[in-house]
Amino acid sequence: MQRLTEHIAAFSNSPLAALTEKTPWALTTNSVSAVRRLLNGISEEFCVSDDVAIHRTTTVEAGALVKGPAIIGPRCFIAAGSLIRGGCWLEENCIIGPGSELKSSFLFAGSKLAHFNFVGDSVVGARVNLEAGSIVANFRNELADPRIRILHAGEIVDTGVDKFGALIGDDCKLGANAVVAPGAIFERGTIIARLTSVDQRPS
């Protein structure tokens, strides 16, 4: 099992700590219920409406769309033209840039989708940066059997789910227009070059 705490240092001290023993794909598959549970204990520092909790220090520009359930932490910036949906949790100082979409995902402190990004069904560590146009896909529509299988550290991991994007460790960087195929695991500090295609499915 890929331990979330091995990839994301702050996981065990975060509001998600009770979910530490879950696999990342179990967490993203159940993101809606996980975020709804967190909403039950949300503090008065958040403005809450229609299953969306936004910290009072966060900026959400006109034209951004946030669909609940969602929790957006302190000092985040959600740009015009962005979309957050499917059960998302953002820690502090995160940026969702213009034209970006975040779906069923968890972002830790200081992570950024610069602009025109898609990240689906993923767990993203702290200080991760996605340059413009980089994509983390979440579904293999090119295969008759879309079940997500991953070749990682010489072992084949069968997730048992049809949708999963990536587990991205702290301090990773994805270059502009890089494409990550569904089902990826990146160790802390991994750098993906611009225009790179990454596919960790076993052949």
**∠ at Cα 168 (27, 180), nearest 5°?**
105
User: How far is residue 117's CA from residue 57's CA, in Å, rounded to a whole number?
Assistant: 24
Q: Could you confirm whether 115 is annotated as catalytic? A: yes
Contact assessment for residue 157 and residue 2, using Cβ atoms and an 8 Å cutoff: yes
Q: What are phi and psi of 168, to 5 degrees?
A: -115, 115
β-pairing, 155-158 vs 149-152, is antiparallel
Phi then psi for residue 132, to 5 deg, are -55, 130
Task: Name residues whose C-beta falls within 8 Å of residue 124's C-beta, 6 or more positions apart in sequence.
Answer: 105, 106, 107, 108, 111, 166, 168
Catalytic residue among 7, 55, 115, 152: 115
Just list the catalytic residues.
Answer: 115
